[in-house]
Amino acid sequence: MQILNRAMIFAACVVLACSAARAGTRVWQPSPGHTQVPIWPGAVPDAQPVPGPEYAETSKGLIGGKPVVSVHNVSQPTMTVYRPTVKNTGVAVVVFPGGGFEILAMDLEGTEVCDWLTSNGITCVLLKYRVPSLPYDWHCKCRPDGLAQSTLPLEDAQRTMGLVRLHAAEWGIDPHKIGVLGFSAGGFLMAEISTKFQRRLYAPVDAADKLSCRPDFAVGVYPGHLWAGGEAWKLNPNLRVTRETPPTFLVQAEDDNVDGVNQSVAYYIQLENAGVPVEMHLYTQGGHAFGLRPTKLPITQWPRLVETWLKTIGMLPPQASQTD
């Protein structure tokens, strides 16, 4: 069944790629006033072929009353810096959109997140990490048991954290207040960089790679691939939680039929056992991939909870939130 599912995913990706080729390739660009910057000065490490050029696609289905813009076949990762629109708090967040390591939900879990963060005085760094649309274990180097290990995206995340610290003074950022926020597969990337920051997965390139890539805090929204399965709440063995894992905030819905609430629960238990400050919010309803788009369901108020949490862990001053 697992092999069949992967084959179906690959077939769907091929169809999407062919459709895009017929319709003409549209490349994602940030809003005016913002520029994508390549995170690698030369060739990307461990480069892999992709089935076609990078392109953006707008969904026909709606989430929160709006379509979703997804980006496919990313082979040249970039970051886009969004400066605060109110008084700068010195806090920065690197955002990892989700998409199953096949696509990136670039607005729902990217630019819309940056709009919220910058309205609270937080610098947002949106990472467009590598997501070749090929079978899952092809580019993630999954273990034989099928549990994820997102090698290429993690290289991009480590590199980006170093770049943000390198440019901290220039961008008005406190180098000790840089966190990460990830959705779905991006939530797994959040956990990976929170537990795999001791060494880079690639050969150092420049001064940015000499700086720590450990996040100072981490937020996971409907994270995936964290639970190893079974009744013992075992964590994905690719993750090694220690006391050095950063303070973490988790939110997920019990009716999440994509990744399931067990993902957050398994990670929470390991964080708690290691003595890492962790806060988790579970809701009965909400499903998966709701982003920040408000609905009648209480779970879509999670950004307010994050704002409060950032104050309690000393990242934001009490007056920083503009939406309380």
Closest C-alpha to 39, from 235, 262, 194, 200 = 200
| Measured distance CA(156)–CA(158) in Å, rounded | 6
SS3 70: strand
Tokens 């005085």, residue located: 121
| Measured distance CA(269)–CA(308) in Å, rounded | 22
Share of the chain above pLDDT 70, in %: 85
Share of the chain above pLDDT 90, in %: 78
| Measured distance CA(202)–CA(192) in Å, rounded | 15
- Give the containing element (helix H, strand E) for 281: strand 278-283
Residue 91, C-beta contacts closer than 8 angstroms, at least 6 positions apart: 121, 122, 123, 173, 174, 177, 178, 179, 310, 315, 316, 320
Show the tokens assigned to 324: 């309380």
pLDDT single digits (tens) 88-137: 999 999 999 999 999 999 999 999 999 999 999 999 999 999 997 343 44
Number of neighbours of residue 175 by Cβ within 10 angstroms: 16
Strand partners for 126:
80, 95
Phi and psi at residue 96, to the nearest 5°: -110, 105
pLDDT single digits (tens) 273-310: 999 999 999 999 999 999 999 999 999 999 999 999 99
Q: What is the pLDDT along the chain (324 residues), one digit of tens a residue?
A: 333 333 333 333 433 344 433 344 699 999 999 999 999 999 999 998 888 899 999 999 999 999 999 999 999 999 999 999 999 999 999 999 999 999 999 999 999 999 999 999 999 999 999 997 343 443 344 444 445 567 899 999 999 999 999 999 999 999 999 999 999 999 999 999 999 999 999 999 999 999 999 999 999 999 999 999 887 889 998 899 999 999 999 999 999 998 889 999 999 999 999 999 999 999 999 999 999 999 999 999 999 999 999 999 999 998 645 554
Write out the CATH class of domain 2-312: alpha beta
Show the tokens assigned to 310: 């950032």
Q: Per-domain residue ranges for the chain? A: 2-312
